[in-house]
Structure 1
Amino acid sequence: MLPGDGEHTPLWADTVRGLAHRVLGSVAESVRFASSAASDGARGAGRAYAYEAKGGVLTVAATDGVGASVGLHHYLREHCGRSVGWDTPLPLGLTSLPDAPLHQGAARVREGYYFNFCTFSYTMPYWNWADWEREIDWMALHGITMPLAVTGHEAALHAAYTLLGLDDDRIRGFLGGPGYLPFQFMGCLDDFAGPLSSSWIDGHRELGARILDRERAFGMTPVLPAFTGHVPREIASAARAGRRQWQGFETWVLDPADPLYARIGAEITRAQIKLFGTDHLYAADPFIEMIPIDADPAFPGAVAAATLAGLRAADSEAVWLMQAWPFSYQREFWTEDRVTTFLDAIPGDRMLVADLWAEHDPLWGQFDGFSGKPWLWCSLLNFGGRTDPVADLRGVPAGIEAALAAPRPPTGIGLSMEATRNNPVFFELAADQIWNRVPDLDAWLDAYVAQRYEGRRTAELRAAWRGLLDTVYSAQSLRAAPDQFKGVLLTNPSYTRTPDISRALWYEPSVLAQAWERMIAVAEQEPGLVAGPLGHDLVETGIAYMARVADRRYLEVVESAGGPEAVARFLRVFEDLDRMLACRPEYTFQRWEAKAVSWAAGPGDRAVLQDNARRILTVWGTSDSPLLDDYAGRHWAGLVGGYYRDRWELWARDLGRALAGDVGAEAELRERLRDRAETFLREGAAPVVPGDLAAESRRLHTAYAGVLEDER
């Protein structure tokens, strides 16, 4: 029941009221918030809300600020036909709040987890407070209670290593470039693409504190980073330590038997608590994608004990959150005995395991349910920031329900994507199940479409989305990772390695073309919708179709042995798609780079920021290493029509020689591609000119919709 007028105003009310004003504008004056106890249905999860609207006034009572935000969002979805997504224009523009009967909701799980260390490199390394405020609002509206929070952690590392005797220049050099910091925090690399500037450390210390203050004001419990054993070479040289390799990068890690391991862990944790406070949750992945330096099956358990000892020396209430990713990524090493030995070294109430890729490769049914540790069902989907739509939507509710019905169900549901702002339908679906069961995906999708597009042109847009559901969003059992699902557009050309494009087209392309046509027609009839989510979805759908057109044109070039007409048609795909992408700012490389250099405090700082922004999306590491090349590739204007197009033009130049058996062609191509990469790192992408998205989409559809008719 809703509380009476005399109920005490909760501490979180002002925070949620601020969210309501950002979402609703002046109409938020008609929203009241109050505290309530958990309902019977929320006894396990402990979070609940109730809302009721009468005479234009909406009252939301909840157990906490996140519950109140979810209640507000559910009211908007169910009675106003509006939802708030990553790209929804705000405020919503409502002029009144319709009456609604009393409705109660309860969380199905205790926690909603959010982020992945990689997300902080591939999406928000250069965000400012305005970006973060919008994101935290999204988190609250979608039931996120446990966000990973790594912004500003470099300040804690700087403070701790200063106490340990390293000077400022060496510490900033060790930390490396700002765009790569999350990989530094995971222990994957150091001394790379930097140094880090003092102004960056100071600015992000302040930004990180502000982010945490807001998250806590909603009632969230942020997860802060923790020590992984990774140390500077100066420290390693005087301690028991070993070298590790990750994707061509060498780092040093302490042996857990060295007392310095727990001491440094404690110093970093203390420094972090001093700067940012704590909610007693800490994320550390001491192995992640690196085999332990000692093959003894007991060694991982020693690492676990030392990691926890360092945390508890600084915070006696510390709980360690660890991603289960190593057990999947390097399953040949992580046998059941090794995993069990590692997990058993940690008391059950001191660890929380994130089953990171549970929608595709769930581990929760193995390892004796993570040795009885509490765990999170997480959806990953996205590797590096891929911008083409792909998912198995029908598999998500089934996977979550199976986990919730297990003898040891998850304590939370999480979104652990490597980058946000892609495939929003997938992540909205996963997040919705923190509070709601989804027994009928088709009904859920119909509601999603109506709410996403303000209830306008619903029939046409629902038909378009049924087409997407039957094509790109029907990717059952597909490993949507760069090593297996990557079309020609984002592939670094080679004469000796043929792109595997067969996995990328498992559906009838004419159905996708028809869905695209329906979206374009709505965009032409409702231009006001294009600035919002419809524009994003129109671009994603165009990418999905044009990526397969590029695959087809590539085959035509090979079949013609590099014939000039086939090459011209192939390269035109890149140019035409680039024009469409330029219509939407978030699909332009120049926006990414502009956000990066906005943090520059001087010319040297600007050069590092530009380099990081350019490097991580292209060669990732160095231009002569293929290990992570294009891992974070994006279908963005400036990249597609510039960097990617130019590479394929270089490839086409000597294709005839290569097909004729000239063994030197590949080496010459590799050298030219290195030169092109180095040029991009120096000069970046040419500016792009925005156009009309509906018009450019129509132009592409008219020119290319029939290209794939005989593909299947």
Structure 2
Amino acid sequence: MMSSGEHAPLWADTVRGLAHRVLGPVAESIRFAGSAARDGAREYAYEARDGVLTVAATDGVSASVALHHYLREHCGMSVGWDTVLPLRVTSFPDAPLRHASARVREGYYFNFCTFSYTMPYWDWADWEREIDWMALHGITMPLAVTGHEAVLHAAYSLLGLDDDRIRGFLGGPGYLPFQYMGCLDDFAGPLSSSWIESHRELGARILDRERAFGMTPVLPAFTGHVPREIASTARAGRRQWQGFETWVLDPADPLYERIGAEITRAQIKLFGTDHLYAADPFIEMIPIDADPAFPGAVASATLAGLRAADPDAVWLMQAWPFSYQRDFWTEDRVIAFLDAISDDRMLVADLWAEHDPLWGRFDGFSGKPWLWCALLNFGGRTDPAADLRGVPEGIDAALASPSPPAGLGLSMEATRNNPVVFELVTDQLWNRVPDLDAWLDAFVTQRYGGQGTAGLRAAWRGLLDTVYGAQGVRIAPDQFPGVLTTNPSYERTPDVSRALWYRPAVLAQAWERMIEVAEQDPGLLDGPLGHDLVETGIAYMARAADRLYLDVVESAGDPERVARFLKVFEDLDRMLACRPEYTFQHWEAKALSWAAGPADREVLRDNARRIITVWGTVDSPLLDDYAGRHWAGLVGGYYRDRWELWARGLTRGLAGDPAAETELRERLRERAETFLRDGAAPARPGDLAAESRRLLAAYAGAREAEDGR
């Protein structure tokens, strides 16, 4: 039998607070105790007897994982992003003593982009819920960039720039993470003083809570990117990223190290430090000097700036450039870059390891400790898709390699989509998954609290055989072009076949089983079932739109087929409106909640509308629709209107009239400007089960009739 011990560990109150938020009053029957780590391993033990749950752990995150594992294994309930809390647990069933050790030391979380595509407008309530999720799922090393604008403002003030210039350089709040990565500046702003102050406070609160759990946050660091005023008097070069021009210092200029140190000192003063810093001086931009030794010089200057302010600094770098620009980043260049830093001063995140693992290509990153990460989602796109079976195989292979990863991570560009994938990755921080089918059955039971189990398990087996069976599929915006969120063209025809590697009838059956459970138990729609029902509906309707688009093209714009195609947008929009998080209004309202005045309101409104549509300027196609979302207000409004404009000129376009494409581009530019000015009409929520049933009958039934002819 476990003993709760005489002295509660420092993290006990923090984990107790989580337990109360998750469970309500029954959390009073949990006892927490500390335990000594063996060889630095994270461990826990739990036992339940006579209605009392006792948890002993090496740290707060491990204690939180223990609580979650107990709830899953003995209460049949898990806590996801969409779970209604508190859980319906009134007492703790007896459970024998269980000990567990983590398979890896660290659980990494986030990508710089996540802070633009998911949580740019979150408040403390959102963050508290997210940090609880992180702790319950074993996240020990979160990237933490909220409030970094206050650091940059303080550092550049010391370097002589005035307030207006610094806020202009920082740009719009929705784009700040791209500013931190050195991709852009002076765009979609300026940033307000009230935003800087409020997010300095929010960032500090986030860090306090993460550290209270025993997490080790990773803070941003200098990438060499500077304002034009500084670049004009220094050794610097210009870089281009997706049409944006920025200035970056030459590492040979002493200013590189000096500014890096000033930023790090300002950050330590405002937020403290855990000695981990994230910087990606190249990310998606070729170095300004082609000399093979130049990246190593950048590495040395980056670390020198960090160590001048923090002698214990360790640099975490995303390996994304080595994948994204592999023609430049040859093996020799990568190894020369990595070898410029001692092994104990760098941690490498293999960002897209579930699809394009780099650890084998670069021999475990030349001896550097590294993290196996799953990226999966680009820009927050809402099509559900993944190679679910490939995830455990990829992780097991990495852990069995001569240079295994120090941790596993989630580096998605956006969250709140494909939750099954991210649950599968975090589970493997503690447990191997040798049988995916058994794991999936347990996941389904726990996700819905044991309700509707038979029907929902059957539904998920159908999803595993369809959208989650994407073996070998490159799930990225450039290779997954469903027409719903694609900007129309007569010259560029979307290859919609890439998004269909399964039988639609199997997906329709899975969708119907979910609908049946929702009809039998409508209360489940408030939780994860509502989210999953929408995602499954999106998956089916997106492919229905692809098929009807091809019908329109093959019929040379037959009016009846055009009407059928456009109706998909209207019908899907009605279903999406049933869940607030699938509405454009929800996103915009969160943005405007931070407005401190009319000017601030205009910037926030513009950022919220711009990044999920044109991304940059209306005249640049480079990132147009990159963050395309299946959201009410966008699907039935913005996206539908674009395809209607396309249909009007289709006859001329198919005939090869070059003026047709020019005119279409102008009309689409005008439509984008209208959206940036006016936004989307308010969504009218309805009954999700009824709307889903209506779409299934209209589209799956119609397809069966056509296939039967």
Q: Structure 2-normalised TM-score?
A: 0.99
Match of 1:34 in 2: 33
Contact 1:387–1:422 under 8 Å retained in 2: yes
Match of 1:19 in 2: 18
1:602 aligns to 2:597 (yes or no): yes
Match of 1:341 in 2: 336
Is the partner of 1:244 in helix, strand or coil?
A: strand
Give how far 1:6 is off.
3.6
Contact 1:108–1:434 under 8 Å retained in 2: yes
Distance of 1:707 and 1:574 partners within structure 2: 16
2:74 to 67, 76, 79: 79
Contact 2:364–2:404 under 8 Å retained in 1: no
1:484 to 472, 479, 482: 479
| CA displacement 1:284-318 (0-9 Å, x = unmatched) | 00000000000000000000000000000000000
Match of 1:440 in 2: 435
Give runs of aligned pairs for residues 125-274 of structure 1, distance below 5 A. Answer: 125-274=120-269
2:573 to 554, 578, 581: 578
Aligned residue identity for 1:478: V
Give how far 1:130 is off.
0.1
Gaps of 5+ in 1: none
Match of 2:647 in 1: 652
Match of 2:668 in 1: 673
Contact 1:552–1:708 under 8 Å retained in 2: no
Contact 2:184–2:244 under 8 Å retained in 1: yes
1:367 aligns to 2:362 (yes or no): yes
Give how far 1:646 is off.
0.3
Is the partner of 2:658 in helix, strand or coil?
A: coil
2:62 to 61, 64, 67: 67
Give how far 1:663 is off.
1.5
| CA displacement 1:345-397 (0-9 Å, x = unmatched) | 00110000000000000000122321100000000000000111100000000
Aligned residue identity for 2:14: T
1:105 aligns to 2:104 (yes or no): no
Is the partner of 1:571 in helix, strand or coil?
A: helix
Is the partner of 1:291 in helix, strand or coil?
A: coil
Give how far 1:707 is off.
4.2
Contact 1:12–1:219 under 8 Å retained in 2: yes
Contact 2:5–2:33 under 8 Å retained in 1: no
Is the partner of 1:546 in helix, strand or coil?
A: helix
Distance of 1:539 and 1:306 partners within structure 2: 48
1:449 aligns to 2:444 (yes or no): yes
Aligned residue identity for 1:111: E
2:535 to 518, 540, 544: 540
Match of 2:521 in 1: 526
1:559 aligns to 2:554 (yes or no): yes
1:637 aligns to 2:632 (yes or no): yes
Is the partner of 1:373 in helix, strand or coil?
A: coil
Is the partner of 1:594 in helix, strand or coil?
A: helix
Is the partner of 2:240 in helix, strand or coil?
A: strand
Give how far 1:560 is off.
1.6
Distance of 2:229 and 2:51 partners within structure 1: 66
2:286 to 288, 291, 308: 291
Match of 2:512 in 1: 517
Aligned positions, number: 707
Match of 1:54 in 2: 49
| CA displacement 1:209-238 (0-9 Å, x = unmatched) | 000000000000000000000000000000
Give how far 1:556 is off.
1.1
Distance of 1:419 and 1:367 partners within structure 2: 27
Give runs of aligned pairs for residues 86-97 of structure 1, distance below 5 A. Answer: 86-97=81-92
Contact 1:82–1:451 under 8 Å retained in 2: yes
* Cα distance change on mapping 1:361 and 1:6 into 2, 3 Å: closer
Give runs of aligned pairs for residues 315-326 of structure 1, distance below 5 A. Answer: 315-326=310-321
Is the partner of 2:701 in helix, strand or coil?
A: coil
Give how far 1:37 is off.
1.7
Distance of 2:77 and 2:29 partners within structure 1: 17
Is the partner of 2:526 in helix, strand or coil?
A: coil
| CA displacement 1:406-441 (0-9 Å, x = unmatched) | 011000000000000000000000111001110000
Is the partner of 1:631 in helix, strand or coil?
A: coil
| CA displacement 1:131-155 (0-9 Å, x = unmatched) | 0000000000000000000000000
Give how far 1:706 is off.
3.2
1:117 aligns to 2:116 (yes or no): no
Distance of 2:317 and 2:630 partners within structure 1: 32
Identity of aligned residues (%): 85
Aligned residue identity for 2:599: G
1:495 to 462, 472, 490: 490
Is the partner of 1:322 in helix, strand or coil?
A: strand
Aligned residue identity for 1:517: E
Distance of 2:393 and 2:363 partners within structure 1: 21
Is the partner of 1:332 in helix, strand or coil?
A: coil
Match of 1:331 in 2: 326
1:9 aligns to 2:8 (yes or no): yes
Is the partner of 2:381 in helix, strand or coil?
A: coil
Aligned residue identity for 1:608: V
Distance of 2:353 and 2:672 partners within structure 1: 36
Distance of 1:484 and 1:5 partners within structure 2: 54
Give how far 1:549 is off.
0.3
Give how far 1:575 is off.
0.2
Is the partner of 2:530 in helix, strand or coil?
A: helix
Contact 2:109–2:143 under 8 Å retained in 1: yes
Aligned residue identity for 2:536: T
Distance of 1:396 and 1:387 partners within structure 2: 20
Is the partner of 1:530 in helix, strand or coil?
A: helix
Match of 1:392 in 2: 387
Aligned residue identity for 1:189: L
* Cα distance change on mapping 1:37 and 1:568 into 2, 3 Å: same
Q: Give the aligned CA root-mean-square deviation in angstroms.
A: 1.0
Give how far 1:5 is off.
4.1
Distance of 1:325 and 1:658 partners within structure 2: 39
Contact 2:388–2:464 under 8 Å retained in 1: yes
1:309 to 304, 309, 321: 304
Match of 1:411 in 2: 406
* Cα distance change on mapping 1:325 and 1:6 into 2, 3 Å: closer
Give how far 1:661 is off.
2.6
2:502 to 495, 500, 507: 507
Contact 2:483–2:549 under 8 Å retained in 1: yes
Distance of 2:148 and 2:262 partners within structure 1: 13
Contact 2:4–2:32 under 8 Å retained in 1: no
Give how far 1:7 is off.
3.4
Distance of 2:460 and 2:37 partners within structure 1: 37
Is the partner of 2:409 in helix, strand or coil?
A: strand
| CA displacement 1:639-663 (0-9 Å, x = unmatched) | 0000000000000001011122322
Distance of 1:516 and 1:582 partners within structure 2: 18
Distance of 2:654 and 2:460 partners within structure 1: 42
Contact 2:459–2:513 under 8 Å retained in 1: yes
Is the partner of 1:706 in helix, strand or coil?
A: helix
Match of 1:376 in 2: 371
Distance of 1:95 and 1:346 partners within structure 2: 54
Give how far 1:169 is off.
0.1
Give how far 1:70 is off.
0.1
* Cα distance change on mapping 1:708 and 1:372 into 2, 3 Å: farther
Q: Structure 1-normalised TM-score?
A: 0.99
Distance of 1:159 and 1:429 partners within structure 2: 41
Give how far 1:561 is off.
1.2
1:705 to 697, 700, 703: 700
Aligned residue identity for 1:11: L
